[in-house]
Amino acid sequence: MSLQNVFDIAGSGLSAQSLRLNLTASNLANMQNVAGTPEDVYRSRHPVFRAGSASFAETMAATGVNILGVIESTVDPIERYEPGHPEANEQGVIYAANVNAMEEMANMISASRSYQSNLEVINTTKELLLRTLSLGQS
């Protein structure tokens, strides 16, 4: 495995965790949204990743993270009876976003630590390259 592959793999990890952090922030920001119908309410979004490889010859050496897309949660929105709310339907029901704050905070901590780990891989590899170059100077 060349050192360029290390940067590519860690870079794909950084991109994946950055997306994960952005989606978590979006979920938390929309956590208090309500609507009069279940179809109109915000649903939490989550990224879908896959370990990827460049080719068969490099399968064992070069894998990274492929971002397959973003999916919406299929969990039903939270139904609340609040007849005085401006968004309430004829039955006095509003639907709140299906965002779980505890899950989102755990996702944020996990994504942040994964991001930091990938950044540490890049920094360590860079330091090793610089030390290797300095060997030829002595």
Quick: pLDDT tens for 11-60: 999 999 999 999 999 999 999 999 999 999 999 999 999 987 655 555 55
| Residue 61 confidence (pLDDT) | 55
* Bridge pairing between strands 93-96 and 34-35: antiparallel
pTM (2 d.p.): 0.84
- For 77-84, what is the mean pLDDT? 93
Residues 6 or more apart whose CB falls under 8 angstroms from that of 128 comprise 3
Question: Could you report the per-residue pLDDT of 93-122, keeping only the tens digit for each?
Answer: 999 999 999 999 999 999 999 999 999 999
Q: What is the pLDDT of residue 104?
A: 96
Residue with tokens 């989550």: 46
- The reported pLDDT for the residue numbered 1 is 57
